[in-house]
Structure 1
Amino acid sequence: MTILALRIRLHAPWVHSLKEKRMVVKSLLAKLQNKFNVSAAEVGEQDIHQIIVIGLAAVAAHQAQADSIQEEIGTFVAQNTEAEILDIEREIY
């Protein structure tokens, strides 16, 4: 069993309030949870309007499956939000 933990940092330059940011984050989290059956939450920079930090955790059978999940999630995030991906940090347990 392999546990994949991702931290995705996004920049959303059009967001000008925490309310706008909340709407973007809530939508993206719901889409990720529904599509990939992962645990996801906003995990940092919650007081900064234009920076979004999302943490995800998934269980995979082996390393190759964890790699595949990470690739799919990165592609999905890039296609389903106008925010720019600044960084993706990954940990495997």
Structure 2
Amino acid sequence: METVTASLLALIHKITGGLLVMAGFVVLPMPIPLGLIMIALGLAMLAPYFSAVQALVRTIRRKSPVVNDAMVKFKQKCPRVIQITIEKTNPDMTPPMVED
């Protein structure tokens, strides 16, 4: 029963994260930065499940020390799944090489 619940939760995260990213791009031109917030939340929800999203977040953190510092600062206040994602997207960490 736990695996079904975990799979369902992962599916809900993926759908919600994808919808947030898409909706964020739609409202991005608005003067209020709501689109950026929605995109950031969507990427945070997708990052635990997709290595490409982890690489994107890692690049954003590498290019923006303000974003990186904020993630490090609030890491301990976040749920464990978000803490793991913050660790996985550490810009100082070299991602593992995939062998073919």
Higher relative contact order (CA 8 A, sep 6+): 1
TM (norm. structure 1) is: 0.34
Q: Name the structure with the higher helix share.
A: 2
Which one has a bigger Cα radius of gyration?
2
